[in-house]
Each structure stands twice: as structure tokens, then as C-alpha cells.
Amino acid sequence: KQEVTQIPAALSVPEGENLVLNCSFTDSAIYNLQWFRQDPGKGLTSLLLIQSSQREQTSGRLNASLDKSSGRSTLYIAASQPGDSATYLCAVTRGGATNKLIFGTGTLLAVQP
């Protein structure tokens, strides 16, 4: 059974710092991995999608990497801003006949001005 874990559960950094969020999954047979952010009481915003055949994806100040063999993904945020404060979630899909997302526990990020 696939389990997804995110460390740390919470993180507080000063504005301008570069930071890394971690995501681990127990079954390496994934189809893709997606990173989301969620603001309090809101829906999920897709940040980056990495296919299982890819090693990384970049969008602006965000860079996500994937190491399927070790069951790990990282989300790197450069030059953090207070507007980056949110909960960050990673999720994997198995592929095949299902598009079901299995979510991690999330990292609550606070960027202090």
C-alpha cells in the first residue's frame, strides 16, 4: 500500500531564504508526482507535475525533483516571499486504470517578512 510522507510538518523561514520541502513515497511504481499548495480554507493549486520518466521540473522560483528509485521528491523554493506561506502537498498516482491521487501529510510553510 502506497504511503506518502512529508517532512518537515511545519517550517518557518525569514523572507528571502531558499528552502527545500521533502516528500517520500514507499512504492516506487508511480506514474507521476504532483506538488500543490493550499491556502487556508481554499482548494488546491497545482504547482508542478513530474512524470515518472522525468528527473525535475521548473516553474519560476520553484524546482521539483524526482528520484523514483529512492522514493523521494523535493520542492525547492528560491528567494522565499511572505506570499509563499501556505500548506504544500505532494501526491502520487499509480497510473494504469486509475487517476487516483495519494496525498502526503503536507508541510505548513510560514515565510516571515
Partner 1 sequence: KAGVTQTPRYLIKTRGQQVTLSCSPISGHRSVSWYQQTPGQGLQFLFEYFSETQRNKGNFPGRFSGRQFSNSRSEMNVSTLELGDSALYLCASSSWPRQGHEQYFGPGTRLTVT
Site of interaction with partner 1 (CB under 8 A): 31-32, 34, 36, 41-46, 49, 51, 89, 91, 93, 97-103, 105-106
Smaller CB separation from partner 1, 25 or 80: 25
Pairing of strands 10-14, 107-112: parallel
Nearer to partner 1, 13 or 49 (CB): 49
Query: What is the closest distance, in whole angstroms, from the C-beta atom of residue 84 to partner 1 in the complex?
Result: 19
Give the burial class of 28: count Cβ atoms within 10 A of its Cβ; 0-12 exposed, 13-18 middle, 19 or more buried: middle
| Residue 96, Ramachandran bin (φ over 0: left; ψ between -120 and 50: alpha; else beta) | left
3-state secondary structure of 88: strand
The minimum distance between CB 53 and partner 1, in angstroms, equals 12
Q: How far is the CB of 34 from partner 1 (least distance, A)?
A: 7
